[in-house]
Amino acid sequence: MDSLKCLAIWIVLFLYSTLAKATDGCLITGGTELYDTPTLNVLTGGYKLYTNSLYPLSSNYCSWAAVSYTGNTCGVCSGLGICVFGICPCIGTAKYGLEGSFTMVLCNFDDHSWLLGAAAGIFGLLVIKRRNKL
């Protein structure tokens, strides 16, 4: 029964840690601007152009961290842009970055330290309870 409780606690902690969702898009150099809406991209050979629709950082988040990179560079066009056969004209201002999947990084890790303390306390109580049975 104790191992079942321990397993349930670990499952809850695992599910809590996987709540972060990754967003695919173009991360502009500097790490705070992520654009997630691609323009029309036809046979570009890996290069994508994105529209100027910024995916905002939520409150209490400071920057974006890479979950995975595609290895491709990308561009963001503030005006009209289209990519056809690797030629990507942009009528407006262009910014450049890296394409991939990104997740938000919390600014203050201390806000979640209670979870680590609670997990350690519950684990300690289970160990004490188990030792007293012997």
Residue with tokens 């997630």: 36
Query: CA–CA distance from 75 to each of 41, 89, 130 (Å)?
Result: 12, 10, 58
pLDDT along the chain (134 residues), means of 10: 60 50 83 82 74 81 84 83 79 87 79 79 87 74
Query: CA–CA distance from 121 to each of 19, 104, 111, 126 (Å)?
Result: 23, 29, 17, 9
Model confidence, pTM: 0.59
Q: What is the pLDDT, as a whole number, of residue 13?
A: 46
Q: What is the pLDDT, as a whole number, of residue 80?
A: 81
